[in-house]
Chain A
Amino acid sequence: MSLLRAEGLAVARGGVPVLEGLTFELAPGEVLVLRGPNGVGKTSLLRVLAGLAEPLEGAVESEGAGYAAHADGLKATLTVRENLGFWAELHGAQVGDALERMNLAALAERQAGSLSAGQKRRLGLARLLVTGRALWLLDEPTVSLDADSVALFAGVVRAHVAAGGAAVIATHISLGLEEARVLELGGYKAVERAAPGGFDEAFL
């Protein structure tokens, strides 16, 4: 029983193929960390896994995922609790202790627009807790978080995984998840083609 299965995946960004031949499987309790240089296609891969984009080739099997991207999807004129409550109701769940777990309880009645970048990020990640989804797809979740918040979030991920969840995380910094598997993404290898026979540059 796996939460996510990718089969011979090829991924494009802006119509240009960036990754190919990706096959992996994620069972409950597993964390997969995506690594690779900028532009290798980590975000594009996560969007395909989340079902937001179509793969060029191959197939993704999953029963829906909690997805956290660069943008947190917050509304500046709603309070922290209203923002989170909306996503909870949409997913048919309760806010519960999500605010406390991401250390946002003291800010619950503040408008999201008045939060700092790190606080917004924590609220965006707290949304994962109210989706009720077993699989989390995280795109650079630690951007603009300080060291304490990174540790807090690592603890949340660890608790989620320990409770039978799984996560795919694209990140440059270590979350301290020793049990994580690492998928090193290499650039798409362009194959140099031989010039067609009889080709003569002079005719161009």
Chain B
Amino acid sequence: MRALLIRDIRLAVRAGGGFGLALAFFLIVVVLVPFAVGPQPDVLGEIAAGVLWLGALLACLLSLDRIFALDHEDGSLDLLATAPVPMEGVVAVKALAHWLTTGLPLVLAAPVLGVLLHLPEPGFVWLTVSLAVGTPALSVIGCFGAALTVGLKRGGLLLSLIVLPLYVPVLIFGAEVARRGVEGFAVGTPLALLGGLAAGAVALLPFASAAAIRINLR
């Protein structure tokens, strides 16, 4: 299992692995926002939390189709299925590798990009916290979508269509935490719901993803 985690991280950071693509996409989306809505600091400050959450979510979506598609193309997925490791574990480890190479950098970059959008000061902590709790759920849900579309040619668009609606609850509560943090309200309730969503997704979806892969390999 550790071997798989190390391999996936290694593949992500080597040439052509896609590490940094999501981060660059996130940066560009956030930089484009002032061009679209105007540079007024108070307007930007008001929408900053929502824009950062939406940007992180879309950036996360960008790299999902690589999770299983590459392993399927070169035959590794078949060989992983015959290896003495449970497919549920393989899925969980690949989701973790995706989060470490995509989600975690987004969490760390978000406060920096918050400066670009005049995010009010009390919001920084809660934006980071909400992303740190929410992005693992994004990776695991995305993994499930990738598992459903693994055998399909050019399944990337279908993957987005499947995954985006599933991201809605995470977006609602994640952005709510950040927004309440900005305005100085109590964040307990949405944060608890976000944490519950993330914990539920991490606990249950690897089983669903593994079942989907087994069916797709037949």
Q: A20-63: contact bitstring with B at CB < 8 Å (1 yes, 0 no)?
A: 00000000000000000000000000000011111000000000
Q: Does A98 contact B (CB under 8 A)?
A: no
Residues of B within 8 A of A127 (CB): 79
A75 touches B218 (CB 8 A): no
Total A residues in contact with B, Cβ cutoff 8 Å? 28
Q: Does B217 contact A (CB under 8 A)?
A: yes
With contacts A52-B217, A70-B75, A89-B2 known, is A75 near B82, CB below 8 A?
no
**B contact patch SS:** helix
With contacts A52-B218, A73-B75 known, is A78 near B82, CB below 8 A?
no
In whole Å, how far is B156's beta carbon from the nearest beta carbon of chain A? 20
A75 touches B11 (CB 8 A): yes
In whole Å, how far is A20's beta carbon from the nearest beta carbon of chain B? 18
Q: Does B84 contact A (CB under 8 A)?
A: yes
Cα distance A87–B84 when bound, in Å? 11
Total B residues in contact with A, Cβ cutoff 8 Å? 26
Residues of A within 8 A of B81 (CB): 51-52
Cα distance A77–B83 when bound, in Å? 22
Q: Does A72 contact B (CB under 8 A)?
A: yes
In whole Å, how far is B59's beta carbon from the nearest beta carbon of chain A? 22
Residues of B within 8 A of A73 (CB): 71, 74-76, 78-79
Chain B positions within 8 Å of A, measured between CB atoms, are: 2-4, 6-7, 10-11, 14-17, 71, 73-76, 78-85, 217-218
Q: A52-B82, A64-B84, A77-B15 are in contact. List 20 more A-B contacts (CB 8 A).
A: A51-B82, A52-B218, A53-B218, A67-B79, A69-B79, A71-B74, A71-B75, A73-B75, A73-B78, A73-B79, A75-B76, A78-B11, A86-B3, A87-B83, A89-B3, A90-B4, A90-B80, A90-B83, A91-B83, A91-B84
Chain A positions within 8 Å of B, measured between CB atoms, are: 50-54, 64-67, 69-75, 77-78, 82, 85-87, 89-92, 127, 131
